[in-house]
Structure 1
Amino acid sequence: MLNLFAGRGRRLGAAVAASAALALAISGCSGGGGKKSTGNAADSSITIFNGATGTIVEQWNPFIPNFLQPTEGLIYEPLYWYNFASNAEPQPVLATAYSWDATGKVLTITTREGVKWSDGQPFTAKDVAYTFDLIKRTPEINAGALKIVSSEAKDDKTAVLTFEKPSFTDEASIVGNTPIVPEHVWSTISDPKTSINPNPVGTGPYKLKQFSAQSYVMEKNPNYWQAGKPQIQNIRYIALATADAASAALTAGQVDWMSSFLPGLDQLIKNQKNLTYVNTPALTASIFTCADTSYGCKGPQTDPAVRQAIYWAINRDQLNKLAGGGFAETASPTLLLPERDKDWIADPANLTTPGGPDVAKANQILDAAGWVKGSDGIRAKGGEKLSLTIQTVTGWSDFISLNDAMAQQLKEVGIELKPTQLAWQEWNTNEVQGKFQLSLDSIGLGASTNPYFTYLKYSSTTTAKVGTAAGLSGNYARYKNATVDAAVAVAAGTNDEALQKQQYTIIQQEIVKDLPYIPIYINSMLTEFSTANATGWPTNDNKYALPATWKNWDNGVVLTNLVPAK
């Protein structure tokens, strides 16, 4: 497997699609990686490998799922930016202030002055109002399912958005995850849900310079509103086919920035003076269970006792060594991140998952639930054998290793785990439609660090019966709990963090008991950098952005902070 994304939120499916496909042999690169920088910004360039393979399919429409990865962050910008590498407040980008009315239905936005589009036209609040009106009029591009009533510009600096219902918890989707587009360009696009937007005009630090079926290059936007930025003139994107090719390109100085799980990374870069890396784990590798029989789920995993036994029986320390390369971090049964989100985790006992197994506890849980070991060592109850199938994707070597190791670990407590490998499309369809018993996946990043976006995955409002696609927020476990539903609804209707925390405490008590998603560990998110052509990369001591090359919005932040190497 080209194990580039060890632990992808939805296994980074959206990110892979957004990366689109490239085909450029490393040996054919000119400029960028492999060319020593002169320290002169005018001719500076770097090369990025963001995990893309194949041939390029042109797509610069920021509202279409398979847009090319630089679309959001390099070309288009949001109103605010959320740094998932920390718990810092959102940073102003195209807006400088916003406020809700008391009902949470009216959002007033103050836009930044002095911003120009890359074609030189002025940016105003009218562009913001137009963007949200376009989303309102075109349901197919309303990825956040925003309930917009109206969107208007009061003047060149003030946009007012009105929503059908209290929308406090949609704040991050609205201000942090909506690309703002120019009215003077998009008003001429006949079908915004299908256009490839071949000549993109944005406010971001870069604009499209060169595009072909072999590669693409972004160049500095001379009209960029941040004075003196960016300093790197050209950004070239390339494709690689294998993990070996990625390792070779990195050590040969032909790539400046990549986010790849490379076995033996420390040894690989040991004698490479220009190479470094950071690890920013943020995605919780988990066993998704089809949990509720009322939605059509079938199998032993519908018994909470079985899910609890799995939770206690697996040896996470061993799994990290075998499949995580030692780079994974400890998860939480609340599905939040223990370090970043500890203030949201109510019970200290639920801060982290156990490292080693508690076989005695797992056996006790199964015994009490009536699961009895047979002569073959596998338990059964009411004529049903405690045998479970777990699906993952063919080629995902780290997850395949996890399944193989867990099969041995769970056998000790009388659970038979039968791993199966499927093509990505079949695996994904099964998960979305609930056609699985267990599925190995990761809990991904929400629109912000507020737990609301994680806990939507436990709400029955975002799920459906087996055979029908679950909602956008993805309660793929088909979990149903009236107490959780009520708490999610209350949290959605307030911006009072104290009240939200009360509701999340209720949710955590329920989900830790029921475990429809069984956390394994927070998978590694390794990103490698070369300082040969540029400096100013994020470091372990200064994670000013989530450095993964595929991370929308953050990619623009990183590139605007780079300076040519001397």
Structure 2
Amino acid sequence: MSLPPISRRAVLIGGLSAGALGLAACGAGDAGTGASTGPSGTDAEPTAGGTLRFAVANDPASLTPQGGGSGNDARYVTRQLVDSLLDQDPETGELAPWLAQEWEINEDATEFTFHLREGVTFSDGTPLTAQSIKDNFADVLAQGAQASYAIEHLAGYLDTEVVDEQTAIVRFDVPSAPFLQALTEPIFGPLAASTLALPWEERVSGGVIGTGPFVLDRYTKDTEVVLTRREGYAWPSSLSQNTGEAHLDEVVFQIVPEASVRTGSLSSGQVDVIGGVPPQDQATLEGSGYTIVARGNPGTTFGLTPYNAKPIISDVNVRRALSLALNRTDLRDATLNESYAVSTSPLAATTPGWVDLSEYLEQDVDEAARLLEESGWVPGADGIRERDGERLALVIAWSNNFVANQSALELLQQQAKEVGIEVELWTGDVSERTAKGAAGEFDLTYGNLSRADGDILRTSFAFGDEDPFQVADEDLNALLEEQRGITDVAARNEVLARAQERILEIAFHIPTFELTSVLGTTEDVHGVALGADSRLTSLVDAFLVGGAA
């Protein structure tokens, strides 16, 4: 079955001021974003002092923000040690000043000029300067794959020119409009020269000096990370309520792997905040007077990404039939609740540039059967389809890193079987999964990726020669490259909308439901919030009623 070509309407490049790449969402939040709440407690006057005890599931594994950590739990910690050049408003998706008080972009998004805030220092007392920015980008490149979180955003990086102490010009040899949003994440939080001089292993274990509102006191692996308030801190994000030092004396991140134990620790008063609240505990906690802070994660939704060069799944009819077989509401409801939105696009609805494409994601088993028969797959004796003696059997790789993965995939397995597709589910540790994937043993992989920018589609689905068992779609790749060079928000979102539609047309991603980040806090905790990336923001605004008392 042939697919219609996508349209090639011209897109105009608009204004180039600091607001030109505000990244405001195209309808973000209008169609079922799952839970979305503001900061914990907003009706009390801030009080100084006290220790915030925060239970997370995973040891951070690395305290350097550039890479090597355990995902969100690591970023919860590193966000407190480093600031960012820019911030991103979770309500609008627009960029906001932080360490850079102003910035400009040239017309083709290859040159970015940053004017730094004056008076900012690292916690070792050295000043933040344009040379610091230059040295930090150079360090990411020098660290290579170790700086895995950051380096993917520096493709095409040429150099940084130090104009004066407070002005830096960053240049790329390719259009890089999404670079600005990447600068809002802790992965590019500037590190002091004394940290850059350390071997990677020493940074990972705690040798991180940033400009953030807290400093590291001690890190005991698999037990806790203790941070203390930084004296003299005076440069929070322009989005923060607080304009000076953190209210809290201390933050203790306790490592508590079991979700039920974290919930019990909150209920018994042993901790003040917990991360990763399981769906089954949300209503109980709320009914008992605890506060739930929740936000749908931006980026790609949970779903299946095919290795589209593998023989069976290379057929777009098979990929589309698998998508049409799914009842996504039932997949969500198998373990989750309405805080988790059913997918309406390859992008989650909190992602700037998201569009509602629900019509592509409705269950239609009759159309699924028609597409499979068009490709020559006919029902066998046991109901699984066959063609030329080969069974329509697919292997899906998945990780047990989210509470709903197993139940959702087991139901997906049943739904696929109803249209004659046999699904085998495989899970294992990361190293084994990587090795088997590289050997071509899987047909699809299940998961999601978080980023508050539509460029996540490019890094996920713009396949090249270096991608094993993947074949590029030229139309999709052209759209995803085009959006990199557009600095006008509306024009860029228009191209991203066409890219999202194309991904569903060719089933390069088969979405299921969205991830939601959920925190639970006591009623005495105020100012704990999730940012545009649905990760913990700077705790500079956080306080405990009664403070040190």
TM-score w.r.t. length of structure 2: 0.80
- State whether residues 82 and 190 of structure 2, in contact with CA within 8 Å, keep that contact through their aligned partners in structure 1: yes
The 5 A counterparts of 1:537-552 are 537-538=528-529, 545-546=531-532, 551=535
The residue that corresponds to 1:253 in the other structure is 269
For the pair 1:232 / 2:255, whether they are aligned, the reply is no
For the pair 1:555 / 2:547, whether they are aligned, the reply is no
The DSSP-based 3-state class of the residue aligned with 1:328 is coil
- State whether residues 80 and 92 of structure 1, in contact with CA within 8 Å, keep that contact through their aligned partners in structure 2: yes
For the pair 1:269 / 2:285, whether they are aligned, the reply is yes
Letter matched to residue 205 of structure 1: P
The 5 A counterparts of 1:312-391 are 312-333=324-345, 335-338=346-349, 340-341=351-352, 344-345=354-355, 350-351=357-358, 354=361, 357-391=363-397
Structure 2 distance, partners of 1:131, 1:337, is: 31
- State whether residues 47 and 235 of structure 1, in contact with CA within 8 Å, keep that contact through their aligned partners in structure 2: yes
How far the C-alpha of 1:275 sits from its partner, in A, is 3.9
User: Share of identical aligned residues, percent?
Assistant: 19
Deviations 1:286-324, CA, capped at 9 Å, x for gaps = 0121112xxxx23x2221111111111111121121132
Q: How many residues align?
A: 486
* 1:168 aligned to which of 168, 174, 177: 177
The residue that corresponds to 2:103 in the other structure is 98
Structure 1 distance, partners of 2:360, 2:368, is: 14
The DSSP-based 3-state class of the residue aligned with 2:370 is helix
How far the C-alpha of 1:159 sits from its partner, in A, is 1.1
The residue that corresponds to 2:154 in the other structure is 145
* 1:402 aligned to which of 395, 401, 408: 408
* 2:426 aligned to which of 396, 420, 430: 420
The residue that corresponds to 2:39 in the other structure is none
How far the C-alpha of 1:456 sits from its partner, in A, is 3.2
Change (3 A) 1:367 1:196: closer
- State whether residues 310 and 362 of structure 1, in contact with CA within 8 Å, keep that contact through their aligned partners in structure 2: yes
How far the C-alpha of 1:204 sits from its partner, in A, is 0.5
The residue that corresponds to 1:307 in the other structure is 319
The residue that corresponds to 2:505 in the other structure is 513
- State whether residues 395 and 424 of structure 2, in contact with CA within 8 Å, keep that contact through their aligned partners in structure 1: yes
The DSSP-based 3-state class of the residue aligned with 1:531 is coil
For the pair 1:465 / 2:468, whether they are aligned, the reply is yes
The residue that corresponds to 2:192 in the other structure is 182
The DSSP-based 3-state class of the residue aligned with 1:74 is helix
Q: Which moved more, 1:359-368 or 1:190-199?
A: 190-199
* 1:88 aligned to which of 66, 86, 93: 93
How far the C-alpha of 1:192 sits from its partner, in A, is 5.1
The DSSP-based 3-state class of the residue aligned with 1:288 is strand
* 1:120 aligned to which of 105, 116, 125: 125
Deviations 1:206-238, CA, capped at 9 Å, x for gaps = 001233354221011112124433101100011
The DSSP-based 3-state class of the residue aligned with 2:537 is helix
The residue that corresponds to 1:530 in the other structure is 522
- State whether residues 290 and 438 of structure 1, in contact with CA within 8 Å, keep that contact through their aligned partners in structure 2: yes
- State whether residues 456 and 488 of structure 1, in contact with CA within 8 Å, keep that contact through their aligned partners in structure 2: no
For the pair 1:211 / 2:219, whether they are aligned, the reply is yes
- State whether residues 114 and 168 of structure 2, in contact with CA within 8 Å, keep that contact through their aligned partners in structure 1: yes
How far the C-alpha of 1:128 sits from its partner, in A, is 1.7
Q: Which moved more, 1:483-492 or 1:89-98?
A: 483-492
- State whether residues 103 and 113 of structure 2, in contact with CA within 8 Å, keep that contact through their aligned partners in structure 1: yes
The residue that corresponds to 1:289 in the other structure is 306
Structure 2 distance, partners of 1:254, 1:382, is: 63
Change (3 A) 1:69 1:106: closer
Return 5+ residue gaps in structure 1 as ranges: 1-37, 467-477
For the pair 1:440 / 2:446, whether they are aligned, the reply is yes
Q: Which moved more, 1:258-267 or 1:360-369?
A: 258-267
Structure 2 distance, partners of 1:338, 1:555, is: 20
Structure 2 distance, partners of 1:193, 1:100, is: 36
The residue that corresponds to 2:545 in the other structure is 565
Q: Which moved more, 1:189-198 or 1:226-235?
A: 189-198
How far the C-alpha of 1:395 sits from its partner, in A, is 7.3
The DSSP-based 3-state class of the residue aligned with 2:63 is coil
The residue that corresponds to 1:26 in the other structure is none
How far the C-alpha of 1:196 sits from its partner, in A, is 3.8
How far the C-alpha of 1:274 sits from its partner, in A, is 3.7
Deviations 1:14-51, CA, capped at 9 Å, x for gaps = xxxxxxxxxxxxxxxxxxxxxxxx98523x11111221
For the pair 1:489 / 2:481, whether they are aligned, the reply is yes
The DSSP-based 3-state class of the residue aligned with 2:125 is coil
How far the C-alpha of 1:364 sits from its partner, in A, is 2.1
Change (3 A) 1:48 1:428: farther
For the pair 1:75 / 2:81, whether they are aligned, the reply is yes
How far the C-alpha of 1:115 sits from its partner, in A, is 1.6
The DSSP-based 3-state class of the residue aligned with 2:178 is helix
Deviations 1:465-501, CA, capped at 9 Å, x for gaps = 24xxxxxxxxxxx241111222222222332445534
How far the C-alpha of 1:272 sits from its partner, in A, is 2.3
- State whether residues 312 and 361 of structure 1, in contact with CA within 8 Å, keep that contact through their aligned partners in structure 2: yes
Change (3 A) 1:270 1:453: closer
Change (3 A) 1:286 1:99: same
How far the C-alpha of 1:143 sits from its partner, in A, is 4.3
For the pair 1:220 / 2:233, whether they are aligned, the reply is no
Structure 1 distance, partners of 2:202, 2:351, is: 38
The residue that corresponds to 2:69 in the other structure is 66
> Could you say what the CA RMSD is over the residues aligned between the two structures, in angstroms?
3.0
Letter matched to residue 319 of structure 1: L
How far the C-alpha of 1:71 sits from its partner, in A, is 5.3
TM-score w.r.t. length of structure 1: 0.78
Letter matched to residue 181 of structure 2: A
Letter matched to residue 454 of structure 1: L
Change (3 A) 1:338 1:116: closer
Change (3 A) 1:154 1:547: closer
- State whether residues 338 and 351 of structure 1, in contact with CA within 8 Å, keep that contact through their aligned partners in structure 2: no
Q: Which moved more, 1:98-107 or 1:215-224?
A: 98-107
- State whether residues 547 and 555 of structure 1, in contact with CA within 8 Å, keep that contact through their aligned partners in structure 2: no
Q: Which moved more, 1:425-434 or 1:91-100?
A: 425-434
Deviations 1:134-157, CA, capped at 9 Å, x for gaps = 335554543423433322322221
Structure 1 distance, partners of 2:317, 2:216, is: 55
* 2:457 aligned to which of 450, 454, 458: 454
Letter matched to residue 337 of structure 1: A
Structure 1 distance, partners of 2:287, 2:178, is: 48
Structure 1 distance, partners of 2:54, 2:475, is: 47
Change (3 A) 1:459 1:267: closer
The 5 A counterparts of 1:38-53 are 41-42=48-49, 44-53=50-59
Structure 2 distance, partners of 1:70, 1:264, is: 23
Structure 2 distance, partners of 1:111, 1:49, is: 35
The DSSP-based 3-state class of the residue aligned with 1:72 is helix
The residue that corresponds to 2:296 in the other structure is 280
How far the C-alpha of 1:79 sits from its partner, in A, is 0.3
Structure 1 distance, partners of 2:424, 2:207, is: 50
